[in-house]
Structure 1
Amino acid sequence: MQVRIVHIFHNCFVIDAGENCYVFDIPADRFRSKKVLSALQESLAGRKVTVFFSHSHLDHFAPDYREVCASAASLQAVISDDIEEMYPDLDFSDALIVEPDEKYDFHELEIETLMSNDLGVAFLFSDAGGLRVYNGGDLACWDWETASQNELDFTRSFFRSAVDRVVDYGVQIAFSNVDRRLESLAGGGELARAVKPQVFVPTHSFGRTQWLQGIHERMGIAEENCFIYRRIGDVQSYDIQV
Structure 2
Amino acid sequence: MKVFYIYHSGFAIETEKYKLIFDYYMEPKRNSGNFNIENFIIDNKHILVFSSHSHGDHFNKEILNWKEKNPNINYILSDDIEENGGYNFVKEGDSLIVEGVEINVFGSTDLGVSYFVKCDGKSFFHAGDLNWWAWSDDTPEEEKYMKDLYFNKMELIEKKLKEEEIDYLFYPVDPRLEEYSFLGIKYFIEKIRVRNIIPMHMWDKYEIIKNLKNEIKDINIIEINKNCEEILKI
TM range (shorter): 0.7 to 0.9
Tell me which residue corresponds to 1:111: 103
CA contact under 8 A between 2:34 and 2:229: conserved in structure 1? no
Tell me which residue corresponds to 1:134: 125
* In 1, Cα distance between equivalents of 2:227 and 2:180: 26
Q: Cα–Cα, structure 1 residues 216 and 45, in superposed 2: closer, same or farther, change >3 Å?
A: farther
Partner SS, residue 119 of structure 1: coil
Name structure 1 gaps, 5 residues minimum.
Answer: none
Instruction: Please report how far the alpha carbon of residue 74 of structure 1 lies from its aligned counterpart in structure 2 after TM superposition.
Output: 2.1
**Which one of the candidate residues 72, 75, 83 is aligned to 1:74?**
72
Q: Cα–Cα, structure 1 residues 213 and 190, in superposed 2: closer, same or farther, change >3 Å?
A: same
Tell me which residue corresponds to 2:207: 210
* In 2, Cα distance between equivalents of 1:36 and 1:78: 27
* In 2, Cα distance between equivalents of 1:221 and 1:187: 16
Tell me which residue corresponds to 2:61: 63
RMSD: 2.6
Q: Across the two proteins, how many residue pairs are aligned to each other?
A: 225
Tell me which residue corresponds to 1:16: 14
State whether structure 2 residue 85 is matched by structure 1 residue 92: yes
Q: Cα–Cα, structure 1 residues 209 and 71, in superposed 2: closer, same or farther, change >3 Å?
A: farther
Partner SS, residue 116 of structure 1: coil
Instruction: Please report how far the alpha carbon of residue 238 of structure 1 lies from its aligned counterpart in structure 2 after TM superposition.
Output: 5.6
- Which amino acid in the other structure matches residue 14 of structure 1? A
**Which one of the candidate residues 180, 183, 207 is aligned to 1:184?**
180
Partner SS, residue 216 of structure 1: helix
Instruction: Please report how far the alpha carbon of residue 113 of structure 1 lies from its aligned counterpart in structure 2 after TM superposition.
Output: 1.5
Q: Cα–Cα, structure 1 residues 233 and 200, in superposed 2: closer, same or farther, change >3 Å?
A: same
* In 2, Cα distance between equivalents of 1:70 and 1:58: 22
Instruction: Please report how far the alpha carbon of residue 17 of structure 1 lies from its aligned counterpart in structure 2 after TM superposition.
Output: 1.2
CA contact under 8 A between 2:2 and 2:15: conserved in structure 1? yes
**Which one of the candidate residues 199, 202, 224 is aligned to 1:229?**
224
Instruction: Please report how far the alpha carbon of residue 191 of structure 1 lies from its aligned counterpart in structure 2 after TM superposition.
Output: 1.8
1:145-160 equivalences under 5 Å are 145-160=136-151
Tell me which residue corresponds to 1:162: 153
Q: Cα–Cα, structure 1 residues 153 and 238, in superposed 2: closer, same or farther, change >3 Å?
A: farther
- Which amino acid in the other structure matches residue 4 of structure 1? K
**Which one of the candidate residues 167, 171, 174 is aligned to 1:172?**
167
* In 2, Cα distance between equivalents of 1:187 and 1:50: 27
* In 1, Cα distance between equivalents of 2:95 and 2:204: 32
Identity %: 20
Instruction: Please report how far the alpha carbon of residue 140 of structure 1 lies from its aligned counterpart in structure 2 after TM superposition.
Output: 0.7
TM-score, normalised on structure 2? 0.83
CA contact under 8 A between 1:44 and 1:69: conserved in structure 2? no
Partner SS, residue 61 of structure 2: coil
* In 1, Cα distance between equivalents of 2:52 and 2:171: 12
Partner SS, residue 138 of structure 1: coil
Q: Cα–Cα, structure 1 residues 106 and 154, in superposed 2: closer, same or farther, change >3 Å?
A: same
Instruction: Please report how far the alpha carbon of residue 37 of structure 1 lies from its aligned counterpart in structure 2 after TM superposition.
Output: 9.3
Range with greater deviation from structure 2 (114-123 or 147-156): 147-156
- Which amino acid in the other structure matches residue 207 of structure 1? D
CA contact under 8 A between 2:3 and 2:14: conserved in structure 1? yes
Partner SS, residue 146 of structure 2: helix
CA contact under 8 A between 1:122 and 1:136: conserved in structure 2? yes
- Which amino acid in the other structure matches residue 197 of structure 1? V
